Amino acid sequence: MMAAMFFDVAGITVPLWLPPLAAFVVSFFGSMAGVSGGVLLLPFQMSVLGYVAPSVSATNLVFNVVAIPGGVLRYAREQRMDWRLAWVIGAGTLPGLLLGWWLRVHWLLDPGVFKVFVGLVMLWLALRLARHQGPGGSKAAASIVAPGEWDVASVMPIALVIGVIGGAYGLGGGAFMAPVLVTMLRLPIHAVAGATLFGTLVTSVAGVALYQFLPAPPGISTHPDWALGMLFGVGGLAGMYVGARTQKRVSQRMLELGMAAVLALLAGDYAVEFWFNAVR
């Protein structure tokens, strides 16, 4: 019989092999597009594992903190990291995290409402990506830094708004920042992936601190399940490194369509679940 473990904060029993495996898969594909994989891991925790307490967002951020250095290290070693863009993203999303945290613990306590919020964001991103034909066409690329079509004044407000969404969703923001940079500022995924991962890492560290130390409403626990988050992080660390190494061999369009398809499927799943719960 496969070993399983009960996680006190999450209140679930999970086979020990499942979190690292799931995290490796989502991180491998996500890191190619500058996404930690948390955008997929959060629905997995809520819908598959049944972990729907507010602390699931904090646990997702722990996963980011442990896993993302694998991807950042690989992009930096290959000199495919735009450090200026990375720090602008990090600085812009940090202020929004506090508001996002407040929304999650005071307004989005009902998992049904939370899933509607998440699904709408996912659907919007999927539609934007599916209609977009970014620079680089069908060819793979290995751009070192993002082209000069962006400036701090254009990226900072976007990062601030995404910080709010990411704080509520239990993400550092890269899952939303990468598609926005690609569709609105027309930057190639190959050039921005490393920067969005680094920005996500910075904001995830701050996000974990918010959920761990700021007071929550009476009877509500927002502290992360550190054991489960670390277990996810181990698989994610390996997946990030391998995905970042593989990314330069995958075309821009394939990355866009793959991300759009996954986001659309998840949004559809949340819509169907909400509908069935509403008509009961």
- Span 75-89, pLDDT tens digits: 999 988 999 999 999
Provide the β-strand partners of residue 12: 7
Does any domain span residue 178? Answer: yes
Write down the pLDDT at residue 108. 66
Does any domain span residue 2? Answer: no
Provide the β-strand partners of residue 6: 13
Give burial (CB, 10 Å; 0-12/13-18/19+) of 186.
middle
Does any domain span residue 109? Answer: yes
Select the highest-mean-pLDDT range: 43-47, 106-110, 226-230, 259-263.
226-230
Q: How many domains are contained in the chain?
A: 1
Q: For residues 62 and 64, what is the distance between their CA atoms, to the nearest angstrom?
A: 5
Crossing angle of helices 152-169 and 174-183, in 10° steps, is 140
Write down the pLDDT at residue 106. 74
Q: For residues 207 and 200, what is the distance between their CA atoms, to the nearest angstrom?
A: 10
**Enclosing H/E stretch for 60:** helix 55-77
Domain containing 134: what range?
A: 19-46+54-215+225-279
Does any domain span residue 12? Answer: no
Q: Under DSSP, is residue 3 helix (H, G, I), strand (E, B) or coil?
A: coil
- Residue 180's pLDDT band, with cuts at 50, 70 and 90, is confident
Nearest to 36 by CA among 211, 204, 278: 204
Does any domain span residue 89? Answer: yes
pTM of the model: 0.84
Does any domain span residue 9? Answer: no
Does any domain span residue 220? Answer: no
27 close to 235: Cβ distance less than 8 angstroms: yes
**142 pLDDT higher than 50:** no
Does any domain span residue 14? Answer: no
